[in-house]
Structure 1
Amino acid sequence: MTGSIQITEAALASLIGLSAHEIPGVVGMAPANLKEGISRVLGRANASDGVVIGREGGRYTADLYIVAAYGVSIPTVAQNIVDRVTHTVKTQAGIELSATRIHAVGVQRV
């Protein structure tokens, strides 16, 4: 079989967002920028909301903006997200992230 596979940054962001939602203690994702916030107000939420893909030294990075559940250990939740995202991106997309940063931007009762 010949050819190539390209995974877009949008697909990578969706994969990462879906992975983060699987972690207990994550209530949701927060808008990472104004455009995303406006889209959410207008009712257009995506799996990639709250995920920003970047590049450092030719490799991908991921910044996730999360809302954590009240009463959970945010450092534990953050580490669980990093572990899950790293594993999922490597096994499902064949990509190793050079950095995964979690930004807890809110806490909410569930």
Structure 2
Amino acid sequence: MTGTIQISEAALASLIGLTAHEIPGVVGMAPANLKEGISRVLGRANVSDGVVIGRDREGGTYTADLYIVAAYGVSIPTVARNIVERVEHTVKNLAGIELSATRVHAVGVQRV
């Protein structure tokens, strides 16, 4: 018996958001757009905040953009590299999906 497994973009974004939160030097995720920012102000934040999933024109591959807030004093390029490596590894192993691009946008720095 064969079948297909489909993983929603929302589930993929949650997996990526949870993985990013595990990286030392990440204080949190930043709203990726106005709608997400309004939801956060209204108290409806969730683990996929700050993650935007994209698909290529043919719909075959995914991209991920992560909007993070870094801890003050950490090397942002090192944190970004760690995020990319861990996210791509986790998504491939847990979801069976290879991301064609993973981009980290450091949009803030905060003391912890």
Give the drift of 1:100.
0.1
- What SS is found at the alignment partner of 1:98? strand
Distance in 2 separating the partners of 1:101 and 1:43: 26
1:14-41 CA-to-partner distances (Å, cap 9, x unmatched) read 0000000000000000000000000000
Q: Which moved more, 1:18-27 or 1:51-60?
A: 51-60
1:72-93 CA-to-partner distances (Å, cap 9, x unmatched) read 0000000000000000000000
What is the count of residue pairs matched by the alignment?
Answer: 110
Are residues 45 and 76 of structure 1, via their aligned partners in 2, closer, same or farther at CA, if it must alter by over 3 Å?
A: same
Distance in 1 separating the partners of 2:18 and 2:64: 13
Segments of structure 1 that go 5 or more residues without pairing to the other structure are none
Are residues 56 and 32 of structure 1, via their aligned partners in 2, closer, same or farther at CA, if it must alter by over 3 Å?
A: farther
Segments of structure 2 that go 5 or more residues without pairing to the other structure are none
Give the drift of 1:52.
0.2
Segments of 4+ in structure 1 off by > 2 A? 55-58
C-alpha RMSD of the superposition: 1.3
Give the drift of 1:3.
1.7
TM-score by length of 2: 0.94
- What SS is found at the alignment partner of 2:98? coil
TM-score by length of 1: 0.96
